[in-house]
Amino acid sequence: MPPNPPPDHDDPVVNKSLSVSLFSWTLILMLTLVWALYDEVVTLRPWKGYQARFAGLYAAHLKQLKPKKAMQEKEIKESDEYQRLQQQVEEASQAAATQTSAIRNRIANGINPRTNTVRPAFQALRGEIGALTYQLEISTSESTKESLAADIEGGKQRQQELDLALDDGSGDTETVSWTYPQLEAEMSRLRELRVKLQSELVALGGPAGEAQRQLDAYLQNLMYGLTETQIQGLINKMEQFEVSIKQIHLGDIDWVDRCESCHAGTREPVELTKASMGGEAVFTSHPSRDLLKIHDPEEFGCTPCHNGNGRATSSVTKGHGRYKHWLWPLFEKENIEAGCQQCHSQEIVTPQAEVLNKGRELFLNKGCWGCHRFEGFDKEADLLSDVRNEIKFRDKEKAANEKQVRRNNELADDPDTSDEQASYYNARSQALQLANSQLDARLTTLKAERKSLTQEVRKFGPSLKEVRVKLRKEWIPVWLKNPHEFRPGTKMPVFRLEEDEIQAIAAYVWQNGVEGSLQKHPPGDAARGRELFETRGCLGCHSIGEGEQKMGGSFAANLSRVGEKTNYDFLVRWIHDPAEVTPEAGATGDEVHLIPVMPNLRLTFADARDIASYLLAQKTDATYAAADYMDDPERAEEGLALARRYGCAGCHEISGLETEGRIGTELTLEGSKPIERLDFALFTHPAKVEGWYSHKGFFEQKLQDPAFFDQGKVREPGERLRMPNFNLTDDEITALTTFLLGAVDTALPANYRFEPEDERADIQRGWWMVRRYNCTGCHQIRPGDETSFMGMERYQDPDWVEQMPPQLYSEGARVRPDWLISFLSNPALSETDIHRNGIREYLHARMPTFQFTERQVRTLMRFFMARSSQPHPYIDDQLAPLSAAERTLARRLFTSRGAPCLKCHMTGDPGHDRNATAPNFLVAAERLKPDWTRRWMLEPAGIAPGTAMPSELFRHEQGRWIFDGPLPAIFEGYEGDHADLLVRYMFQFTPAELRRLRSSSVQ
């Protein structure tokens, strides 16, 4: 036997109790399990708590709402109209009741029992005959066939005795003895009878059904929001509310958003506010139902617009994506419209995104695109290069085709070629020639476009080629030093320039200006000039006065100190025709002179002199130091390098710098640039600590103070950050930040993006023009637009209200496209009589002549047409010609005491037209569309709120519109529509007719 090993006294397994440690570990394990379970069920699922609270709060809110709705509903139901409609329903159903019940009785007590008796007898016999027929078909012996045929015939002729209820529903019965064909005939007769009676029943229910529909519609019309029953439905839904993950899954891009697991009230049909949901903002409804209608969350989800981590459900921070590892944090409330930009990147105006729109407008009108390329903001230049490339390509294609034609012809004419081959070559040649003819058409279009685009390309700021003609020399360095001090709010930003840099740039600009002479003008009448300046329309874009005294628009310069910088003769020339240039400053070689944005107001020289005299007096007594250094060629040399460095040519046309590129970084996708590539410089760490290490933080800081990230750096002037300071307001910074945050390389596929190719694209393109030329400085295009005129004191006076430029809400529906094209090209509508408005001669404000190219005129025309849903191209409405009798009627009505049309509308008589406030009828036919004209006469305030044209001129009676006033006696017996009659009269108006009216109305 092997010796027993000595007992191991030190073995803890044997010698020590493990209970304590086992117990402790078990306890820890248990606690961990409990913790894990708790975490799993509660901590990681905060949405459960949200949903439970939501269901409670929502149900409570609904219960509060219900009695109010019940009251509202009750009030409506007690109204006379409702009672009347309800009675109608009852009467209609009663009227049908007797017949209905007779038919129902006939079906129940006649047709049903009769069918129930006939059907089994018929079916039994049909089965028997069917079985016999089958046996006959499969039988092979002729004799069996014969006997079976006899059996079948016997079955058909067998008489069956039946007790049948009569089909009139009286309950009486009859006894019949029928063969199979008789039974079959009866079955089909009964079927037809039933169908006939049932359709009679439906017809009888018609009037009652119609009355019921009217009743329901009446209630629905007057009720706001949901009815009591609907609210009860929601309460029931909340009672059965199931706590679960609520998610939207976008199948096509495999996108999951679980936002509604907490934001449970987003899409509820009742509007939920923070107050109505116990102060919990998380449960409020989406603030814009209209937006959700266009962007159904089932199709668009939540995070494609809002950003954030749609899948995360474990915490608010995770869900909102506000942690280090999520690249797309939820947009802050003030930047929420950034989400629109990624899909609406082609637009400058997106409805319902006013902050974003402002950001885009600032980017355009502060000239950001002068230094920073941003796709779409220098469209004309981009298009021009596309068009030039295509022209080159098409030219080559054409030449290649010509070459091939020559070759084919040679081959065809070659004696060695067979006839068959020759005709093949000839056919090829012909096809190529036809293709070239198409190419010619395309080239003509492209060249016209190139011509337009060449004129449309622009720089943001004014040309500096004419500084010597235009500016006071000593003013230039003062301006360069701090433009905002001279002219607060100007678009020229403040550069970080040292004194010697200012001198050098001033010298360069001055010495590169062309020499030229100006026509000398005698002084004008400044007082008259002031009146003209304030009423002709200058203030649509320009402003004058500072602080409280400021009036006018912010699109163009504030002219409060313009007298300090320029000279009289230049000002007269500029006001008279902004496109006129000193010949030396015009086009040189390939370059074209860029046309200024300022339009031509078609002023006489006398007017221009008066306005210039007034403007020249706008100055302070500031003194200007002599600037002889500006003539030093060496300084100019230094200045050239500096002008390049600071990108002056990004915004200005400067001799010698015509081909300079942009100096800033491209911003088209700046919002999705990796954050590491945004240079926080020495502020990387502080930004992380302070919580602004984000795109938003960077953009805001940079816009607030473009030199900010240079702080703490040791840099020579030539190495410093170059971006100048625009002195933006906080609102402007928010708007621009929103725009930049939305400027991303979107992950969404093309079908999510708004890139229409139909008339909506016309609207998109038009808005760019509207913004570029500041149409909204004078005109309202969308409801809520504020023009510069609306803010001016003069136009608050009741006498001046009608002097505001016309509203253009429905311009596309109002005017004919061909007329609009000619008007936009020449608003005087005349080649000779140009110092006036073509249509509204009575307006002091004048529609200026813009130097629009054909392409631009077309773009604007299509913009207005598309906004008013007009078909393109427009086809004339054919109006029925007026009979002689109708003409007399219309003429009488037109000049009657009751309808003094010619009191306000122009007639061509200068004495009368001085006080006119509406256009001449003579131009109606060539300018207006008949359907719009009719709508205008019936409800002008619905088309142009505040118009001088009175409303309710007509009343609707028995399906036609009748003039609501004393009618001339000859209208007795006239059955036509009066509005219609007047439209037809107006569209067939002639100068002779007007003369006739004028003489008769004076009497």
Partner 1 sequence: MIFQKNFGVLAAVALLTVVGCGGGPETAEPEAPVAGEEYFKVDPATAAGVSGKVNFEGKTPKPVRINMSAEPDCKKLHTATVHAEQVVVNENGTLQNVFVWVKSGLEGKKFEVTKNASLNQKGCIYRPHVIAMQAGGTISVSNGDPLTHNVHPLPKVNREWNKSQTPGASDIKRKFARQEIMLPVKCNIHPWMRAYISVVSHPFFAVTGEDGSFEIPGLPPGTYTVEAKHEKYGDQEMSVTLVDSESKEVDFTFSAG
- Asked if 852 and 596 touch (Cβ cutoff 8 Å), the reply is no
- The mark string for 959-988 relative to partner 1 (x by CB under 8 A, - otherwise) is -----xxx----------------------
* Among residues 792, 953, 982, 983, the one that binds partner 1 under rule CB under 8 A: 953
Q: In terms of CB distance, is 718 or 945 closer to partner 1?
A: 945
- Which has the closest alpha carbon to 991: 908, 869, 888, 916? 908
Report how far apart the first and last C-alpha atoms of the chain are (Å, whole number): 153
Q: Any residues with CB less than 8 A from the CB of 159 and at least 6 apart, and which?
A: 177, 178, 179
Number of residues that bind partner 1 (CB under 8 A): 30
For the beta carbon of residue 220, count every other beta carbon within 10 angstroms.
Answer: 10
Sole window of 363-371, 593-601, 687-695, 897-905 interacting with partner 1 (rule: CB under 8 A): 897-905
Helices (H), 604-758: 605-616, 633-645, 684-690, 695-704, 730-742
Per DSSP bridges, beta strands 960-963 and 160-165 are: unpaired
**Which residue carries 């894990």 as its tokens?**
36
Minimum distance from CB of 950 to partner 1 (Å)?
4
For 170, 258, 306, 752, the CA distances from 249, given in Å and listed in that order, are: 63, 9, 16, 15
**Backbone torsions φ then ψ of 399, nearest 5 degrees:** -60, -40
Minimum distance from CB of 965 to partner 1 (Å)?
3
621 binds partner 1 (CB under 8 A): no
844 binds partner 1 (CB under 8 A): no
Minimum distance from CB of 812 to partner 1 (Å)?
24
Minimum distance from CB of 986 to partner 1 (Å)?
18
119 binds partner 1 (CB under 8 A): no
790 binds partner 1 (CB under 8 A): no
Q: In terms of CB distance, is 255 or 809 closer to partner 1?
A: 809
Q: Which amino acid is at 746?
A: T
Minimum distance from CB of 909 to partner 1 (Å)?
11
* Among residues 949, 971, 976, 988, the one that binds partner 1 under rule CB under 8 A: 949
Residue 207: both structure tokens together: 């009037």
Minimum distance from CB of 964 to partner 1 (Å)?
8
Contacts made by residues 883-886, CB under 8 angstroms, sequence distance 24+: 886/976, 886/981, 886/984, 886/985
942 binds partner 1 (CB under 8 A): no
911 binds partner 1 (CB under 8 A): yes
Q: How far apart are CA 590 and CA 384, in angstroms?
A: 14
Q: In terms of CB distance, is 855 or 912 closer to partner 1?
A: 912
Minimum distance from CB of 915 to partner 1 (Å)?
6
Q: How far apart are CA 435 and CA 245, in angstroms?
A: 62
Q: In terms of CB distance, is 287 or 966 closer to partner 1?
A: 966
Helices (H), 789-853: 811-814, 817-825
Sole window of 13-21, 398-406, 658-666, 896-904 interacting with partner 1 (rule: CB under 8 A): 896-904
948 binds partner 1 (CB under 8 A): yes
897 binds partner 1 (CB under 8 A): yes
- Asked if 46 and 282 touch (Cβ cutoff 8 Å), the reply is no
Minimum distance from CB of 793 to partner 1 (Å)?
14
Q: How far apart are CA 75 and CA 79, in angstroms?
A: 6
* Among residues 665, 915, 990, 1000, the one that binds partner 1 under rule CB under 8 A: 915
- Which has the closest alpha carbon to 259: 319, 314, 315, 305? 319
**Which residue carries 């392409």 as its tokens?**
855
Sole window of 219-227, 344-352, 804-812, 911-919 interacting with partner 1 (rule: CB under 8 A): 911-919
Q: In terms of CB distance, is 594 or 916 closer to partner 1?
A: 916
Q: Which residues pair with 255 in a beta bridge?
A: 250
Minimum distance from CB of 531 to partner 1 (Å)?
19
* Among residues 667, 899, 922, 994, the one that binds partner 1 under rule CB under 8 A: 899
910 binds partner 1 (CB under 8 A): no
Minimum distance from CB of 354 to partner 1 (Å)?
23
Which residues 363-382 are close enough to bind partner 1 by CB under 8 A?
none
951 binds partner 1 (CB under 8 A): yes
- Asked if 388 and 450 touch (Cβ cutoff 8 Å), the reply is yes
Sole window of 25-33, 665-673, 807-815, 904-912 interacting with partner 1 (rule: CB under 8 A): 904-912
Q: In terms of CB distance, is 933 or 947 closer to partner 1?
A: 947
898 binds partner 1 (CB under 8 A): yes
**Backbone torsions φ then ψ of 963, nearest 5 degrees:** -60, 130
Minimum distance from CB of 921 to partner 1 (Å)?
16
Q: In terms of CB distance, is 67 or 206 closer to partner 1?
A: 67
Q: How far apart are CA 523 and CA 610, in angstroms?
A: 7
* Among residues 67, 120, 686, 942, the one that binds partner 1 under rule CB under 8 A: 67
Minimum distance from CB of 833 to partner 1 (Å)?
24
Per DSSP bridges, beta strands 551-552 and 543-544 are: antiparallel
Which residues 438-497 are close enough to bind partner 1 by CB under 8 A?
none
Q: How far apart are CA 680 and CA 676, in angstroms?
A: 8
Residue 523: both structure tokens together: 């002084």
Q: In terms of CB distance, is 463 or 787 closer to partner 1?
A: 787
Minimum distance from CB of 918 to partner 1 (Å)?
9
* Among residues 156, 887, 912, 960, the one that binds partner 1 under rule CB under 8 A: 912
Q: Which amino acid is at 974?
A: Y
Residue 619: both structure tokens together: 């100055």
Q: How far apart are CA 269 and CA 225, in angstroms?
A: 8
Sole window of 157-165, 660-668, 684-692, 894-902 interacting with partner 1 (rule: CB under 8 A): 894-902
Q: Which residues pair with 175 in a beta bridge?
A: 163
Q: Any residues with CB less than 8 A from the CB of 693 and at least 6 apart, and which?
A: 675, 680, 684, 687
DSSP class of 341: H
Minimum distance from CB of 275 to partner 1 (Å)?
19
Q: How far apart are CA 487 and CA 557, in angstroms?
A: 8
Instruction: Examine residue 873 and say whether the peptide bond preceding it is cis (omega within 30 degrees of 0).
Output: yes
903 binds partner 1 (CB under 8 A): yes
Q: Which 3 state secondary structure label does DSSP give 598? A: coil
* Among residues 941, 955, 995, 996, the one that binds partner 1 under rule CB under 8 A: 941
* Among residues 248, 657, 947, 982, the one that binds partner 1 under rule CB under 8 A: 947
**Which residue carries 């200058």 as its tokens?**
538
Q: In terms of CB distance, is 96 or 937 closer to partner 1?
A: 937
- Which has the closest alpha carbon to 792: 849, 850, 845, 836? 845
Half-sphere exposure of 7 (CA within 13 A, CB side): 5
917 binds partner 1 (CB under 8 A): yes
Q: In terms of CB distance, is 463 or 535 closer to partner 1?
A: 535
Q: In terms of CB distance, is 343 or 981 closer to partner 1?
A: 981
Minimum distance from CB of 302 to partner 1 (Å)?
38
Minimum distance from CB of 69 to partner 1 (Å)?
14
Minimum distance from CB of 913 to partner 1 (Å)?
11
Q: Which residues pair with 177 in a beta bridge?
A: 161
**Backbone torsions φ then ψ of 496, nearest 5 degrees:** -90, 80
Minimum distance from CB of 1000 to partner 1 (Å)?
13
**Which residue carries 């049908």 as its tokens?**
96
For 79, 210, 228, 293, the CA distances from 220, given in Å and listed in that order, are: 14, 15, 12, 21
Which residues 650-689 are close enough to bind partner 1 by CB under 8 A?
none
Which residues 793-812 are close enough to bind partner 1 by CB under 8 A?
798-799, 801-802
Q: Which amino acid is at 269?
A: P
State the residues that interact with partner 1 by CB under 8 A.
67, 798-799, 801-802, 897-900, 903-904, 911-912, 915, 917, 940-941, 945-953, 964-966, 1002
